[in-house]
Amino acid sequence: MIFEFTASPDFDFITLFSKQINVPVRDNVLEIPARLGEGYVRKVGFGDDFRLTIHRYKLKEDFVIKRNPAVIYNNIRTIFFYNNEEDFELKYNNEENIPFSQKNDSAIQLSTNDLRTEIRFPAGSNIQYVVVGVAADRLRSILSIENPNSTIKTITAENASFLFFESLDAEMQLLLKNIVSVDMNNSLNNFYVQIKVQEVLYLLFSKLSLRENTTFKNINSADAEKLLVIRSEILRDLSTPPVLKELATIASMSETKLKQLFKQTFGDTIYNYYQRARMEEAAFLLKQAKLSVSEVGYELGFANLSHFSRLFERQYGVTPKKFSYKG
């Protein structure tokens, strides 16, 4: 099943989707019919310029959501919170599918509505994500930051074009689970949900406020697609460090441009991003796959296990051996 829409200030996923699958919306909830799968989509509004959409469903067929760029510029910022308990793929500009995130890595994506995106969910996957749509001026009012860094200035500015990624940590995931589980039949719970959404935004923008204050470069759909290809290439084989020259060739960018756009989008240098992903994969293999420290070290390309242990402890505060026995 394909759901395609054009980004606009008054876009309402639940209304258009209900028309496509011929199911009514009741009390801002769209129940997925048994012929398609199970679950629901819920809309919560905090005004015309600030709204929340909750997606929780499992479908019997592949589900593709295509967002076309806004025909007329609008100042709505879209923030996707993906709780990636199942694998799915994201692609830009109809290029080859690429992994959105690692199997143990939930993610947040912030973007303007001038980028073309496509999300593909495999049949039978547990689809769980939350989307916040908020106008730039409302966001500025909510944040009330006197001296924002360049990243936050860009997100809250008019006429910007951007794509940013951040990790979804455990505290955010817990807040999102609380938001999803609220009984909206209680008249005060809309207010409660708004507070919790602002709390999630606080945690997100606390991270974004720590990013280096650098000159921002506008991004387009082609650049966004290339950056996701590069990200996929970095994560494809974590046992081999990325080579900047090779990545620049793949992206058809100069090394300088690639370094700048990658750090701007993902919040870190290519090498640091690789090392962090490497340690996250190590944590996954130690805890979930139950591999030994030596097995994980060699799997991730470490000839020197002491070096592996030092890097792991620097990121997680404990050695790989202690981590594997914790909890």
Please check the confidence at residue 105 and state whether its pLDDT lies above 70: no
Per-residue pLDDT band at 97 (split at 50, 70, 90): very low
Q: Contact at 8 Å (CB) between 283 and 276? A: no
160: left (phi over 0), alpha (psi -120 to 50) or beta: beta
Query: Where in the chain do CATH 1.10.10.60 domains reside?
Result: 238-325
Neighbours of 325 (CB within 10 A): 11
Residues 6+ apart with CB under 8 A from 97: 89, 91, 120
pLDDT computed for residue 84 by the predictor = 58
Mean pLDDT of the region 299-316: 92
What is the pTM (predicted TM-score) of this model? 0.84
Assigned CATH for 2-208: 2.60.120.810
pLDDT tens for 172-205 read 988 998 898 888 888 889 999 999 999 999 999 9
pLDDT tens for 9-62 read 778 899 999 999 999 999 999 999 999 999 999 999 999 899 999 999 999 999
At residue 79, the 3 state secondary structure works out as strand
**CATH class of the domain defined by 238-325:** mainly alpha
Structure tokens at 187: 């008249």
Query: Where in the chain do CATH 2.60.120.810 domains reside?
Result: 2-208
pLDDT tens for 132-152 read 999 999 999 999 988 899 999
